[in-house]
Amino acid sequence: MTRPQQTLAQKIEQKMQRAAQSGLLRRRQQLEQSPDCVNRLVHQGSIKHNFASNDYLGLSQSGELIEALAEGAKCYGVGSGASPLVTGYSEAHAKLEQALCDATGHEAALLFSSGFSANSALMKTLLDKESVVVADKLIHASLIDGLRESGALLKRFVHNDIAGAKRLTEKHQPQAIVTESIFSMDGDLAPIDELYGVAKDNGAWLVVDDAHGFGVLPLGGHKRVDASCCDIQIVTFGKALGCQGAAILGSRACIDFLVAHARDYIYSTALSPASAYVALKAVNLVTRDGQRRDKLAQVILAFQQAAKARGIELLGSQTPIQPLVVGDIDKLAKIDLALKAAGFWVGAIRPPTVPQGSARLRITLNVHHTQADIDALAEQLQRVLQG
Active-site positions read: 54, 140, 180, 184, 209, 212, 239
Nearest alpha carbon to residue 133 among 189, 206, 230: 206
Nearest alpha carbon to residue 263 among 122, 377, 361: 122
**Where are the extended beta strands (E) located within 152-284?**
153-157, 176-180, 205-209, 232-236, 246-250
Bond prior to 273 in cis (omega within 30° of 0):
no
Distances (CA, A) of 81 to 130, 150, 270: 37, 29, 8
324 vs 385: CA distance, rounded Å: 10
Phi, psi (deg, nearest 5) at residue 355: -60, 155
341 vs 4: CA distance, rounded Å: 45
The answer to whether 136 and 162 have CB atoms below 8 angstroms apart is no
For the CA atoms of the chain, what is the radius of gyration? Answer: 22
Q: Which residues are CB-contacts of 292 (< 8 A; sequence separation ≥ 6)?
A: 57, 58, 59, 285, 286, 367
Q: Which residues are CB-contacts of 323 (< 8 A; sequence separation ≥ 6)?
A: 185, 186, 187, 314, 315, 317, 349, 360, 361, 362, 363
Q: Mapping DSSP to helix (H, G, I), strand (E, B) and coil, where does residue 219 land?
A: strand
Q: How far apart are the first and last CA of the chain?
A: 59
Q: Which residues are CB-contacts of 344 (< 8 A; sequence separation ≥ 6)?
A: 48, 49, 51, 376, 377, 380
Nearest alpha carbon to residue 217 among 319, 289, 133, 311: 319
153: β partners: 132
Strands 232-236 and 344-349, sheet pairing: unpaired
* Residue type at position 131: S
Phi, psi (deg, nearest 5) at residue 248: -105, 130
